[in-house]
């Protein structure tokens, strides 16, 4: 039977020669993690089971990345639960303040997920790691507790959809624009419990950072996972980092897909998701002139070094508008250090931006960037639901880093060309 990448990975981890969409299977898990919000819930359920130890201490990680450094007593107590559990079980892969970063970027960066893995996390954007050719998906805290105890998990095999990107992206168009374009076409439930497989010649023009942005947002179309083949670009990136053996899976030529979509990237302009849905996608030119109170460059979607560089290209020699706030938050300590070494932080500070330690906080309206009633934010994050970043009366536009930086300079939504008159191809 011809199978897709997703089906091949799941079959291998279920110990079966083949699997079919819709089947319930019992899979081994290669690695799992939880964050400062979801870990205490998983720990509580794990302890209810009466299990003495996690299935394999070397395959479990806890990453603090939402409300740290702790913003209040409640978040401090949350973190203490996890710290006590880590100490009590002598778990080696624990990332606390100063060593932590946004989990989805950090764990890939450190080689904890590799091509061919089944990787699960108690966070919906775990699908991020599909860019490495892994089956990577978010699960609830109770499911994570079961996986912590058993090293296995029940999964339903998803139907696969194929998205074929053609052409070279125009200046200022990034992987973020590509995934927003797709979500705009199929809707926020267009891939519900499906496997979104991304391919096409366009991928050769995209960096790993851009590829991660695409698979990261598969969940915004309702998908179970997003995935790309582990090509030479992926293998060159992951081999120096990999902590386990790599297995490359490729979809068979005759594999079955419930939908195949072709996307011509060469004609695409930078886009935004207007309030209040990731699927409300329009060209940035269509919403030009909207006054902006805050811009945010960061998160698991767009807090990587390529995003820092892109923002710095727009901000170099310019100032943030006096009535606009700009927050720039690198996803991990390594991205922070690289931004320092490349002089990007100096550009941000000279422009009047706030540059901060790694956190997801502003993305969820919880910490270090909460919006007030009536305020408008242009954010490189993944969601813009009502109240997502603060007050229910606030509004969020999702964009790539160049658009967010341009809006910060102009004090309103604009195409980056209106700020940088001689763009260099991205």
**Could you read off the pLDDT of 171-220 as tens digits, one per residue?**
999 999 999 999 999 999 999 999 999 999 999 999 999 999 999 999 99
Q: Which residues, at least 6 apart from 381, have a Cβ–Cβ distance to it below 8 Å?
A: 296, 298, 299, 301, 302, 362, 363, 389, 396, 398
Determine the straight-line distance between the first and last CA of the chain, rounded to whole angstroms. Answer: 41
Q: Which residue ranges make up each domain of the chain?
A: 5-263, 270-418
Exposure string for 258-279, b = 16+ CB within 10 A, e = fewer:
eeeeebebeebbbbbbbbbbbb
CATH architecture of the domain with residue range 270-418: 2-Layer Sandwich (3.30)
Whole-structure pTM value? 0.97
Residues of the chain under the 50 pLDDT cut = 424-426
What are the structure tokens assigned to 106, written together?
Answer: 């950090």
Can the peptide bond before residue 60 be classed as cis, meaning omega within 30 degrees of 0? no
Chain-centroid distance, C-alpha 192: 18
Beta strands 376-379 and 152-156 are unpaired
Strand 152-156 relative to strand 24-28: parallel, antiparallel, unpaired?
A: antiparallel
Tokens of 34: 């939880």
Query: What are the φ/ψ torsions at residue 158 (nearest 5 degrees)?
Result: -80, 155
334 burial class (0-12, 13-18, 19+ CB within 10 angstroms)?
Answer: middle
Nearest of 426, 414, 419, 67 to residue 272 by alpha carbon: 414
- Sheet of strand 281-283, all strands in order from the earlier edge strand to the far edge: 281-283, 271-273, 395-398, 376-379, 294-297, 325-328, 354-355
Cβ contact 324:297 at 8 Å: no
Alpha helices (H) along 332-386: 333-341, 344-351
Q: Annotated binding site for [4Fe-4S] cluster, which residues? A: 300, 360, 363
Annotated binding site: 300, 360, 363
* 389 three-state secondary structure: coil
Q: Give CA–CA dist 115/253, Å, rounded.
A: 20
Residue 425: the pLDDT is 44
Question: CB 289: neighbour CB atoms within 10 A?
Answer: 9
List pLDDT tens digits, range 374-401: 999 999 999 999 999 999 999 999 999 9
Phi, psi of 361, rounded to the nearest 5 degrees: -45, -55
Burial of 369 (0-12, 13-18, 19+ CB in 10 A): buried
Question: Domain 5-263 belongs to what topology?
Answer: Aconitase; domain 3 (3.30.499)
**Residue 338, CA distances (Å) to 206, 207, 235 in order:** 20, 16, 22
Cα–Cα nearest to 190, from 217, 158, 164, 222: 222
Edge-first strand order for the sheet with 118-121 is: 93-95, 60-63, 31-35, 118-121, 135-138
**CA distance to 59, 60, 129, 260, 368, per residue, from 145 (Å):** 13, 11, 21, 36, 30
Topology alike, domains 5-263 and 270-418: yes
- Residue linked to tokens 């992206």: 169
Q: What distance in Å separates the CA atoms of residue 153 and residue 225, rounded to the nearest whole number?
A: 15
- H/E run at residue 214: helix 208-216
Q: What is the DSSP letter of 190?
A: T
């Amino acid at each position: 039977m011809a199978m897709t990448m997703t089906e091949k990975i799941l079959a291998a981890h279920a110990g079966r020669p083949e699997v079919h969409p819709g089947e319930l299977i019992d899979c081994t898990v290669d690695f799992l993690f939880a964050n400062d919000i979801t870990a205490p819930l998983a720990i509580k359920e794990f302890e209810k089971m009466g299990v003495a130890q996690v299935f394999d201490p070397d395959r479990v990680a806890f990453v603090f990345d939402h409300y740290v450094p702790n913003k209040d007593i409640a978040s401090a107590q949350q973190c203490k639960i996890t710290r006590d559990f880590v100490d009590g079980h002598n778990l080696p892969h624990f990332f606390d303040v100063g060593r932590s970063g946004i989990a989805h970027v950090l764990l890939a960066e450190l080689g904890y997920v590799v091509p061919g893995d089944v990787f699960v996390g108690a966070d919906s954007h775990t699908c991020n790691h599909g860019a490495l050719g892994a089956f990577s998906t978010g699960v609830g805290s109770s499911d994570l507790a079961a996986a912590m105890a058993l090293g296995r998990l029940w999964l339903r095999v998803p139907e696969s959809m194929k998205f074929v990107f053609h052409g070279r992206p125009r200046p200022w168009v990034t992987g973020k624009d590509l995934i927003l374009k797709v979500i705009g076409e199929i809707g926020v439930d267009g891939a519900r419990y499906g496997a979104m497989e991304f391919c096409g010649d366009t991928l050769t023009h995209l960096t790993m950072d851009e590829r991660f942005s695409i698979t990261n947002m598969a969940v915004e179309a309702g998908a179970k996972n997003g995935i790309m083949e582990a090509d030479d670009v992926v293998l060159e990136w992951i081999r120096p980092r990999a902590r386990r053996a790599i297995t490359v899976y490729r979809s068979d030529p005759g594999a079955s897909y419930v939908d195949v979509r072709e996307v011509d990237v060469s004609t695409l302009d930078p886009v935004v998701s207007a309030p209040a849905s990731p699927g409300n996608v329009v060209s940035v030119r269509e919403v030009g002139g909207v006054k902006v109170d805050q811009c945010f460059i960061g998160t698991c979607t767009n807090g990587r070094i390529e995003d820092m560089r892109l923002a710095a290209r727009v901000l170099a020699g310019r100032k943030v508008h006096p009535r606009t706030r700009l927050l720039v938050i690198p996803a991990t300590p390594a991205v922070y250090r690289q931004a320092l070494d490349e002089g990007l932080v100096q550009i941000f500070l000279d422009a009047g931006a706030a540059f901060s330690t790694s956190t997801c906080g502003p993305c969820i309206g919880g910490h270090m960037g909460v919006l007030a009633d009536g305020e408008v934010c242009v954010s490189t994050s993944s969601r813009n639901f009502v109240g997502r970043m603060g007050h229910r009366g606030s509004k969020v536009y999702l964009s790539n880093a160049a658009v967010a930086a341009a809006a910060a300079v102009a004090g309103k939504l604009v195409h980056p060309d209106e700020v940088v008159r001689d763009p260099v191809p991205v």
